[in-house]
Structure 1
């Protein structure tokens, strides 16, 4: 049997050639998706989802149109993937911040601070959130990742204060408002150009732990930092 034929038979029997090919294909696939998502972030941060086209994303990514449609069916699909990835990071980092906190007030501050420190420094973040805020808002509540995050928050809050004394609807309102206030603070910060994460986290914490009066007059409340 010729040497080349022996090699082909060995590859077929061991599966090593097929495995290497599959591994290379997966690597290429991951790299292309990364290029597309990075390009989409740039486009969405420049002209927004509404004005963007698949052609814009393809040109920015330098990936072929066929590859784009092989991975994503539309520009909205890329946008959804970016937002979903961002939500996963928010969930992970804020959960870690809450886990290391003691009482309710410290927990809120650390979670808000982690959230602000993740989002505010993002390159192109201000434009991305400003240009696409209606799309972002529409994807937040009801999303699987958000529902899971709200359950995480409810569990962590419940370990520090007796929210089980509240009715289910009031608990839901409380947890939803805690989350929504952080996203509204982000939108407001980007609109105003004021990116002081610690100040925003402190304000929201005082607002929820001591009420509106102490939020307006922070000297009346103690904030554990």
Structure 2
């Protein structure tokens, strides 16, 4: 009985240590992959490049990720989840369409620009980001959040649910393109471009809305 009790008592501690090690290893792999993908791109990188930069063994890599693409997808999913949280928080108190979109883009850009190597990561992996982005649950969540905010901030909303989804998707896609084309721009120019983009979007939405009412 004593032996069983001792064994049982030790399991949570052992399990906790294993979980902590698992987290450390995954974090080391993801941090290394971020650096490698930012400098060489997914297409120009190998598993051995990631392993060499992470300090873990190649066997450990394969214990957690089967391919470099799997790491890339997880990095993109993590990034998109945080973008959803921050942009949603940034625009949450706005009651007008233009202010809502300006705050959303600003929260998004401030977050991305604050991450080391983020613009290089995005620029060198553009086609992969475009390929994966709209398959992520977090991106679906961003679109769903925007639909609710459009319903909340659009005056005299005459759009159907399908139209609102298309508008929200275009807002996300245009924000992505703004980011992907910003690698060589000064930070101030990026924010200036986002202001212009919002004005174009707001004007287009207003024209569509007036057409629906006629």
Tell me which interval the TM-score lies in, with the shorter structure as reference length. Answer: 0.7 to 0.9
Deviates more, 1:50-59 or 1:29-38: 50-59
Distance in 2 between residues matched to 1:9 and 1:139, nearest whole Å: 49
Alignment of 1:169-188 (within 5 A): 169-188=162-181
Q: Please give the root-mean-square deviation of Cα atoms over the aligned residues, in Å.
A: 2.0
2:211 paired with 1:202: no
**CA contact under 8 A between 1:104 and 1:160: conserved in structure 2?**
yes
2:157 paired with 1:146: no
Of 117, 123, 140 in structure 2, the residue corresponding to residue 124 of structure 1 is: 117
Partner of 2:6: 11
Partner of 1:99: 92
TM-score of the two chains, using structure 1 as the length reference: 0.84
User: What SS is found at the alignment partner of 1:46?
Assistant: helix
For structure 1, the residue ranges without an aligned partner over 5 or more in a row are 212-225
For structure 2, the residue ranges without an aligned partner over 5 or more in a row are 205-214
**CA contact under 8 A between 1:120 and 1:126: conserved in structure 2?**
yes
Alignment of 1:153-172 (within 5 A): 153-161=146-154, 165-172=158-165
User: What SS is found at the alignment partner of 1:165?
Assistant: coil
* Greater Rg over alpha carbons, structure: 1
**CA contact under 8 A between 1:58 and 1:64: conserved in structure 2?**
yes
Q: CA deviation at 1:199?
A: 1.8
User: What SS is found at the alignment partner of 1:189?
Assistant: coil
Q: 1:164 to 1:105 in 2, by over 3 A?
A: closer
Partner of 1:79: 72
TM-score of the two chains, using structure 2 as the length reference: 0.88
Deviates more, 1:177-186 or 1:195-204: 195-204
CA offsets 1:86-111 (integer angstroms, 9 cap, x no match): 00001000111121212111111110
Partner of 1:220: none
CA offsets 1:120-144 (integer angstroms, 9 cap, x no match): 2321112111111100000112322
Distance in 1 between residues matched to 2:31 and 2:144, nearest whole Å: 30
User: What SS is found at the alignment partner of 2:43?
Assistant: helix
**CA contact under 8 A between 1:87 and 1:145: conserved in structure 2?**
yes
Distance in 1 between residues matched to 2:138 and 2:192, nearest whole Å: 27
Q: CA deviation at 1:194?
A: 2.5
Aligned residues: 204
Q: 1:183 to 1:163 in 2, by over 3 A?
A: farther
**CA contact under 8 A between 1:120 and 1:186: conserved in structure 2?**
no
**CA contact under 8 A between 1:163 and 1:171: conserved in structure 2?**
no
**CA contact under 8 A between 2:37 and 2:45: conserved in structure 1?**
yes
